[in-house]
Structure formats: structure tokens, C-alpha cells
């Protein structure tokens, strides 16, 4: 944990206890815990939002339809050209 040994952690905790006192220490720990909880919540929300945006499929490209009345050619014209007149 952060490259600190057991003895160093005990020394840091003793200094914190001397600076803030036994009554203030639980309040500090509670505040620290709530801060960490809020940070994790915000981090999870951002991660979830990014994942949802990645999972959403992009909209299908729109195809342009020719305007009405300007069809390339109809099948009845093709049939009249292929069949000899009776």
C-alpha cells in the first residue's frame, strides 16, 4: 500500500491521533469514507454512461429515394421492347 511498511503506518496514525485527538478522529474517518463513496459513485456513473454510448448502435444511414414520377424505367416498357408486336 503506497510502498509504506507496517511501522511507518503506525507512526503516521500516532501523529494523526496526537494532532486531531481521539474525539475528532472518527469524524475525520467518516468524512473520508463519505468522500471515497461519492468518488466511486461518480466514477461508476461516468463509466456506465461511456459504456452505454459505446453499446448504442449508430443510426442506419439514410438512403435517398428518387423523386416521384422520375423512376429510371418501368417493367412494362421493358416488356414491350422485348416482345415482338402481334
pTM of the model: 0.47
E strand or H helix at 10: helix 6-55
Task: List alpha helices for 56-74, DSSP H.
Answer: none
Cα-to-chain-centroid distance, residue 21: 43
- Count Cβ atoms below 10 Å from residue 16 Cβ, excluding itself: 14
Q: Render pLDDT for 50-69 as a digit per residue (tens, 0 to 9).
A: 998 888 867 667 787 777 77
pLDDT confidence of residue 47: 95
Query: What does the buried/exposed string (b/e) look like for 20-33 if buried means 16 or more CB atoms within 10 Å of the residue's CB?
Result: eeeeeeeeeeeeee
Q: Render pLDDT for 3-43 as a digit per residue (tens, 0 to 9).
A: 888 899 899 888 988 888 888 888 988 999 999 999 999 99
* CA 16 – CA 29 distance, rounded (Å): 11
Amino acid at each position: 500500500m503506497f510502498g509504506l511498511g507496517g511501522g511507518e503506518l503506525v507512526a503516521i496514525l500516532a501523529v494523526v491521533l496526537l494532532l486531531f485527538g481521539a474525539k475528532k478522529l472518527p469524524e475525520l474517518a467518516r468524512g473520508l469514507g463519505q468522500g471515497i463513496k461519492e468518488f466511486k459513485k461518480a466514477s461508476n456513473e461516468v463509466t456506465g454512461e461511456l459504456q452505454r454510448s459505446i453499446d448504442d448502435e449508430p443510426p442506419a444511414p439514410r438512403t435517398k429515394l428518387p423523386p416521384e414520377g422520375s423512376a429510371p424505367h418501368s417493367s412494362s416498357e421493358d416488356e414491350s421492347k422485348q416482345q415482338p408486336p402481334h
